[in-house]
């Protein structure tokens, strides 16, 4: 989600709550949130979703304004399912990403991003380009002043999934990963094929630590990327992160492997 839209939704939420004379606790009871969660949503350290915004519109009598703002964000090129996570990602101080099948979005080159998004044959050419542009725009969080720390773990199998027609794209993507890994706030670690089976093969997941020190996670499927902040679920994913990180090569070893991949394709 673009920053201005996310900030506008939260600002409207707080402004209308205050105008209605409701404390965060009183408002929370109306929308089935605790006062602390309402506060976290308003400050951006916890996500909101469409059902929450719909309940808010109803509770505050805002005539569907917040849901309408969410639709605007969707028209800007982002799938509705990922909007809450993108807002969390933008506010995070540390991001931990594990991907067994694709290069993480924050580290994708333009060509790779376009090829991946084009796999959805339900999208028009215009929608593909909108999503490519939005994905590249999101990467700006890594180069902004005081950027978050990104630690990405990927499976080596990703680097060998290519047809002959895809070779040039993958060479450029590998070089793009190397360049990204050389930034002081970015670490890329590769789990080598020699590691065999590991827990990460159950699927991708991401973790974000906010300014308050709390963690939020997401697990992506074909249809959704729903944020997770339950204590048990977070504990499980944090433990799984330690497992996949321990299976991976060091930062320097991973860069050397990427360089070998580029050489083998060139």
pTM of the model: 0.71
Low-confidence winner among 73-77, 157-161, 176-180, 239-243 (lowest mean pLDDT): 73-77
Q: What is the mean pLDDT of residues 174-199?
A: 94
Which pLDDT belongs to residue 41?
A: 85
Q: What's domain 81-265's architecture? A: 2-Layer Sandwich (3.30)
In CATH, what number does 3-75 get?
Answer: 1.10.260.40
Domains 3-75 and 81-265 in one fold: no
Quick one: what percent of the chain has pLDDT higher than 90?
A: 47
pLDDT, one tens digit per residue, over 63-116 is 888 888 877 766 555 555 566 677 778 788 999 999 999 999 999 999 999 999
Q: Check pLDDT > 70 for residue 223.
A: no
Q: Considering only CA atoms, which of 179, 187, 201 is closest in space to residue 249?
A: 187
Domain ranges of the chain: 3-75, 81-265
């Amino acid at each position: 989600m673009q920053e201005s839209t996310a900030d506008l939704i939260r600002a409207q939420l707080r402004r209308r709550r205050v105008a209605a004379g409701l404390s965060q606790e009183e408002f929370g009871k109306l929308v089935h949130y605790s006062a602390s969660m309402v506060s976290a949503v308003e400050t951006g350290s916890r996500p909101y979703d469409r059902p929450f915004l719909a309940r808010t519109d109803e509770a505050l009598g805002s005539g569907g304004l917040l849901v309408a703002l969410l639709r605007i964000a969707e028209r800007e090129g982002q799938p509705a399912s990922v909007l809450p996570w993108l807002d969390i990602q933008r506010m995070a101080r540390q991001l931990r990403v594990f991907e067994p099948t694709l290069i993480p979005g924050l580290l994708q080159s333009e060509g790779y991003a376009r090829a991946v998004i084009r796999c959805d044959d339900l999208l028009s050419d215009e929608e593909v380009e909108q999503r490519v542009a939005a994905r590249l725009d999101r990467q700006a969080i890594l180069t902004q002043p005081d950027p978050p720390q990104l630690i990405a773990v990927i499976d080596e199998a990703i680097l060998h999934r290519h047809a002959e027609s895809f070779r040039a794209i993958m060479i450029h993507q590998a070089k793009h990963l190397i360049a990204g890994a050389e930034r002081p706030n970015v670490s890329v670690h590769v789990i080598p094929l020699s590691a065999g089976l590991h827990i990460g093969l159950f699927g991708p997941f991401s973790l974000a630590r906010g300014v308050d020190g709390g963690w939020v996670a997401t697990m992506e499927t074909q249809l959704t990327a729903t944020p997770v902040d339950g204590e048990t679920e977070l504990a499980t994913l944090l433990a799984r992160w330690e497992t996949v990180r321990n299976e991976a090569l060091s930062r320097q070893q991973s860069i050397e492997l990427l360089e070998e991949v580029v050489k083998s394709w060139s």
